[in-house]
Structure 1
Amino acid sequence: MTSSIATLDSVLALLRRDPTGEADLERLAHEAHALPVGDLVYLVRTSDAEQSALLFRVLDKGQALRVFEELAPHQQAELISALRDPQVAQIIEHLDPDDRASLFDELPASVAERLLHGLDADERAMTTTVLGYPRDAIGRYMSPEVIALHPEQSVEQALAHVRAHIDEPETIYLLPVVDGSRKVLGVVGLRRLLAEDGTTRVDDLAHTAVLARASEEREQVARRFLAEKLLAMPIVDGEGRLVGILTIDDAMAIIEEEDAEDSARHGGAEPLSRAYLATPILQIVRSRIVWLVVLAVSAILTVQVLEFFEASLDEVVVLALFIPLLTGTGGNTGNQAATTVTRALAVGEVRVRDLPRVVWRELRIGATLGSVLGTLGLVIAGIFYGLPVGIVMGLTLLAICMMAAVVGGLMPLIAKRIGADPAVFSNPFISTFCDATGLVIYFSIATAVLWL
């Protein structure tokens, strides 16, 4: 481990020194060859485009291809722009059609077209098929290279067919069974084929397939894929004909990308297109500044509420002491509800039509949470500041928890209904909304109870 870290540090130092001499390049190649693929991927992701291209050029063919396949499409595109044409052609040729399509999405149209025309006819046809689907459709992420079996085949014939085409598809562990028009009749696992007698017919072994249409939204399909605990999923066209297969690595990559995007937006920022250490400072600032400006402007509402109730604060100064507690409670309650409902939407546990049920459920959850917190507020504030103030605190905590839970559960559903990303209604937005509304509730209750 110590040796690996020392080698990694040495390669980093060489890259930052921008080696140009033959001796330096030989040393860089020697030390890079000793690093595992994971470390090489880390170096490419966290270095600028020129350094990444320099490192890539000294790798042997096998290392270079493995590293390239581990990169995200936008990182691949940056690297392609900095590499020489012969090496680019070699890389493009070895990519799977779905990975190639994702890369072409990130490249300038002229470059993508030139690389596409450089492929042989079969590879070009498969890549064009994948590129024909919308960017958010699962058809864009399927592999069109798939081995299909026919129901009348025997196990022996099926295995011979698999062996004859074993180098073509991305996976062979789940094999679709199709009829003469390529409509999917079922699927059979390779393990099942290997365990059966050679004379058994394929249709006697096939079971119902979990399918997806190529036009379906990618996140929904990927989450269904993982929920079903599949290794692969046949992808069909609108008439049920087999057009490709989705593998577990592609499904997981989709979910990782979606979760990273949701996580960033929940925190009030846009996701970064490059690794954090390789992203320019100004690009990080741009990813954060928009939400900060929006939230700063919306926070003026809170100031306006405080100004409106300034006379009440002057009359009972102790009310100001509880403002941070109440705004924090409202924001946290709303964020909890929003996070839970957003997750339920993502995995298909909740749909937009369930809005009334979600509101009623969150109202009861908020009432229960508010009863517990309100009782604590009543007792503690009552002991130190008198019973009237305790009553104000108890009732306010109850009302704020109910309001925040309903708002937090409602916003992701509204976003989904209007076609927006539920994560856009991020935690900072909900916190700001609940702050202003919570203060209105607080001072309204205080005015009524304390006769202000």
Structure 2
Amino acid sequence: MTETQATVDSVLAMLRAQPHDEEQLEQLALEAHLLPVGELVYLLESRPETEAAVLFRVLDKDRALGVFESLPSHHQAELISALRTPQVAEIIGDLDPDDRAALLDELPASVAERLMHGLDADERAMTTTVLGYPRHAIGRYMSPEVLTLLPTLTVREAMAHVRAHAEEPETVYLLPVVDGSRTLLGVVGLRRLLVADEEALVGDIAHEAVRARATDDREDAARRFFGAKLLAMPIVDSEDRLVGIVTVDDAIDILEQENTEDSARTSGSEPLRRAYLSTPIIGIVRSRIVWLLVLAISAILTVQVLEVFEDRLDQVVILALFIPLLTGTGGNTGNQAATTVTRALAVGEVRVRDLPRVVWQELRVGATLGAVLGALGFLVSGLVYGWAIGTVMGLTLLSICTMAAIVGGLMPLVAKRVGADPAVFSNPFISTFCDATGLIIYFTIATAVLGL
């Protein structure tokens, strides 16, 4: 057992011991001080609210701030609800405006209002600015604290300005260049300032800025951020006036949230709002049950199709043996296509207007896959069950793979077009659709080939 693990076990034992006297709390504080921030974050996320509150309360202010900033906003809200101490008010005042806004979203209105009143006027104004944007807009994730430069400054004057104000903004690695009305003219990197001629004007060394509007979708802006390989990106309003800046840690958080959400919905569930081990059983059940009910109802289509073709199954019982193979192949083919297109949409490789090209691409891919699998199915089933059955299997696999690939590629684009989450239209619904449609194709081909 490592020293860190032994300390974690000791902390857990002390947290479980109820109630806590002063001596126990002092010992807990000493043990907690030995743990890295990552372990403390894990403990706070995975323990019940009362134990997490006790652990957080014994941390010194600097360590508490570092841990608090690393927690998801819903865990921060739970801690605040459990603590209600002056230490919390101080920590909230030290948060960046965007992190503070995310936290206030999770709190009851009365608690959020009380915390807002505890902020100074400047911090309250910046937080209100961030809260004024829609929840999924990139403006919700920006910091309004930005160090800007005027284009008429010399490099020497600009460096003096940066040194004088370096502690105030969230980042100084990318410096927006603005005019008197805060219209964004360009950006200049700190490295560029350091190596430039001291008498050169900032406006002469600045370059065009990759920017986003504050109302842009957060995922689209974050993808653009990483596509341009940025450390920070200026955020502007509808008139190109600078209103804030998004840093790389904000962009990472956005994509992590989006990927978590897409992953959960692709597998037919809703994302958990807190750590898995600390989520109540009813919370996990609630995240899964709705999708299971929807899919169960959708699967009735498959049962109805089988009922329609029941007489064909009675005539050639062997057809029933291949149903799991065909439905599984169709579902898997559709899911592969949907996953590929959903990712391509997310990273900007495909747009809704590319729908005809995507359909043509997946038609060819599906037909090729179907030809390979169909040839194999024709050979194997033909040798074992006769060439008539082999022909049915070969033609069905060719048709199902082609159909499933087209549908799988089409669904995410349709979802994007109507404003829905492409992940929702992916694996669960595609599997159900391909099952029912695939069976119709299967029995139609069997009827024609076998003369049923």
TM-score, normalised to structure 1, is 0.98
Residue 373 of structure 1 corresponds to: 373
Structure 1 residue 18, shift from structure 2 partner: 3.1
Matched-pair contact (CA < 8 Å) for 1:18–1:51: no
Matched-pair contact (CA < 8 Å) for 1:214–1:236: yes
Matched-pair contact (CA < 8 Å) for 2:374–2:398: yes
Matched-pair contact (CA < 8 Å) for 1:331–1:430: yes
Residue 421 of structure 1 corresponds to: 421
CA distance in structure 2 between the partners assigned to 1:334 and 1:19 by the alignment: 56
Matched-pair contact (CA < 8 Å) for 1:19–1:25: no
Residue 241 of structure 1 corresponds to: 241
Residue 231 of structure 1 corresponds to: 231
RMSD, matched Cα: 1.0
Moved more, 250-259 or 9-18: 9-18
CA distance in structure 1 between the partners assigned to 2:437 and 2:273 by the alignment: 36
Long gaps (5+) in structure 1: none
Residue 52 of structure 1 corresponds to: 52
Aligned residues: 452
Pair 1:404-2:404 in alignment: yes
Structure 1 residue 23, shift from structure 2 partner: 2.0
Residue 393 of structure 1 corresponds to: 393
The within-5 A match list for 1:247-258 is 247-258=247-258
Question: Deviations along 1:126-146, whole A, 9 cap, x unmatched?
Answer: 111111111111111100001
- Tell me the SS of whatever aligns to 1:243: strand
CA distance in structure 1 between the partners assigned to 2:60 and 2:18 by the alignment: 20
TM-score, normalised to structure 2, is 0.98
CA distance in structure 2 between the partners assigned to 1:435 and 1:10 by the alignment: 53
Long gaps (5+) in structure 2: none
CA distance in structure 1 between the partners assigned to 2:415 and 2:168 by the alignment: 42
- Tell me the SS of whatever aligns to 1:175: strand
Pair 1:333-2:333 in alignment: yes
Residue 130 of structure 1 corresponds to: 130
Question: Deviations along 1:308-366, whole A, 9 cap, x unmatched?
Answer: 21221122122111111101100000101111111111122222222222112111111
Matched-pair contact (CA < 8 Å) for 2:388–2:449: yes
CA distance in structure 2 between the partners assigned to 1:287 and 1:176 by the alignment: 43
Question: Deviations along 1:361-387, whole A, 9 cap, x unmatched?
Answer: 111111111111111111111111111
Residue 195 of structure 1 corresponds to: 195
CA distance in structure 2 between the partners assigned to 1:213 and 1:287 by the alignment: 33
Residue 80 of structure 1 corresponds to: 80
- Tell me the SS of whatever aligns to 1:381: helix
CA distance in structure 2 between the partners assigned to 1:42 and 1:358 by the alignment: 43
Matched-pair contact (CA < 8 Å) for 2:61–2:87: no
- Tell me the SS of whatever aligns to 1:423: coil
CA distance in structure 2 between the partners assigned to 1:243 and 1:399 by the alignment: 54
Residue 438 of structure 1 corresponds to: 438
CA distance in structure 1 between the partners assigned to 2:65 and 2:383 by the alignment: 70
Matched-pair contact (CA < 8 Å) for 2:381–2:389: yes
Question: Deviations along 1:275-334, whole A, 9 cap, x unmatched?
Answer: 000000011001000111111111121112112212211221221111111011000001
CA distance in structure 1 between the partners assigned to 2:193 and 2:143 by the alignment: 22
CA distance in structure 2 between the partners assigned to 1:27 and 1:201 by the alignment: 58
Matched-pair contact (CA < 8 Å) for 1:266–1:428: yes
Matched-pair contact (CA < 8 Å) for 2:411–2:426: no
Moved more, 140-149 or 304-313: 304-313
Structure 1 residue 393, shift from structure 2 partner: 0.6
The within-5 A match list for 1:27-426 is 27-426=27-426
Structure 1 residue 16, shift from structure 2 partner: 2.0
CA distance in structure 2 between the partners assigned to 1:173 and 1:19 by the alignment: 48
CA distance in structure 1 between the partners assigned to 2:154 and 2:198 by the alignment: 6
Matched-pair contact (CA < 8 Å) for 2:412–2:426: no
Question: Partner letter of residue 341 of structure 1?
Answer: V
CA distance in structure 2 between the partners assigned to 1:63 and 1:277 by the alignment: 24
Matched-pair contact (CA < 8 Å) for 1:330–1:401: yes
Structure 1 residue 19, shift from structure 2 partner: 4.3
Question: Deviations along 1:145-164, whole A, 9 cap, x unmatched?
Answer: 01111111111100100011
CA distance in structure 2 between the partners assigned to 1:409 and 1:19 by the alignment: 58
What percent identity do the matched residue pairs reach?
A: 74
CA distance in structure 1 between the partners assigned to 2:18 and 2:295 by the alignment: 43
- Tell me the SS of whatever aligns to 2:419: coil
